[in-house]
């Protein structure tokens, strides 16, 4: 997560977070969602999470509402310059902004996975080269590395991390109510559970992902920890996309 992510105070109440800056073709302009605006925008479109609600704003409305120049701060995803969306990405942004942000999360996860895999391979290559040099120095046979070892093994991708965190949903209202009652009667002892249940009881919750993203922004808790706590508290269950 970017350390310089822009956090915007909103009307002295809930914080708002700049998630992405994008643009679309001029012919496919979209409507700014600021109340009373109605203008169509295509350059420097700001996607914001405010009070667990996703908003798509033009740069001028973004600056007017939150008092920050649109050139300041880094978004959670991508850069401050903004990338051009495909027609399909534009449609998702307009019809389901939460799903659009989840896509950006998935893209970042994949980039980080590929980078980590490449770093692992480079590190192992360096270790193998060092082993060969050492063997040559002491006259011992070189041990070949295990080329069949799975580098990106499942132990590095638990159910609460990576793309898997997009595969959870809230349990039924009855099950959630029972879990909250149990937490009230027997305060949870697990790591981060108390913080997560407090946030859960005090906020609207569109999806587990949106909830975890909001808590991560506010409290700097990794989303993987939040999902683990939600699961341990019996508030979420697996689903398949």
- 48 contacts 57 by C-beta, under 8 angstroms: yes
Enter the tokens of residue 25.
């073709």
For 47-51, 54-58, 125-129, 150-154, which range has the lowest pLDDT when averaged over its residues? 150-154
Q: Where are the beta strands (DSSP E) in 85-163?
A: none
Higher pLDDT, 181 or 117: 181
Mean pLDDT of 167-171: 88
Kindly give the pairing relationship between strand 83-84 and strand 53-57. unpaired
Q: Which residue has the tokens 């029972």?
A: 178
Work out the mean pLDDT of the chain and round it to a whole number.
77
Angle between helices 193-202 and 223-232 (to 10 degrees): 80
Helix, strand or coil, per DSSP, at residue 80 = coil
Q: Rounded to two decimals, what is the model's pTM? A: 0.55
Q: For 148-162, what is each residue's pLDDT tens digit?
A: 333 233 333 467 777
Whether residue 35 has pLDDT greater than 50: yes
Q: Strand, coil or helix: what is 58?
A: coil
Give the mean pLDDT of 29-56: 89
pLDDT tens-digit series, residues 67-99? 664 445 678 888 788 889 999 999 999 999 888
Decide: 183 and 233 in contact? Cβ < 8 Å. Answer: yes
**Residue 5: per-residue pLDDT:** 44
pLDDT at 174 over 50: yes
The pLDDT confidence band at residue 31, using thresholds 50, 70 and 90, is very high
How many alpha carbons lie under 13 Å from residue 106 in its C-beta half-sphere? 12
């Amino acid at each position: 997560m970017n350390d310089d992510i822009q956090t915007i105070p909103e009307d002295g109440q809930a914080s708002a977070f700049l998630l992405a800056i994008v643009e679309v073709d001029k012919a496919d302009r979209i409507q700014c969602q600021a109340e009373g605006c109605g203008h169509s925008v295509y350059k420097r479109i700001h996607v914001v999470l405010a009070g667990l609600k996703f908003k798509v704003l033009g740069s001028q409305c973004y600056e007017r509402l939150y008092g920050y120049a649109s050139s300041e701060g880094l978004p959670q995803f991508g850069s401050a310059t903004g990338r051009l969306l495909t027609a399909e990405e534009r449609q998702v942004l307009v019809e389901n902004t939460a799903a659009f942000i989840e896509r950006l999360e998935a893209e970042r996860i994949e980039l980080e996975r590929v980078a980590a895999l490449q770093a692992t391979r480079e590190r192992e290559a360096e270790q193998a080269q060092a082993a060969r040099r050492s063997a040559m120095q002491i006259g011992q046979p070189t041990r070949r590395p295990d080329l069949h070892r799975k580098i990106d093994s499942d132990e590095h991708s638990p159910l609460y991390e990576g793309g898997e965190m997009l595969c959870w949903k809230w349990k039924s209202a009855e099950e959630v109510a029972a879990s909250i009652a149990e937490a009230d009667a027997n305060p949870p002892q697990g790591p981060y559970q108390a913080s997560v249940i407090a946030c859960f009881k005090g906020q609207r919750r569109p999806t587990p992902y949106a909830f975890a993203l909001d808590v991560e922004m506010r409290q700097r808790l990794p989303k993987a920890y939040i999902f683990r706590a939600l699961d341990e508290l019996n508030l979420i269950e697996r689903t398949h996309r």
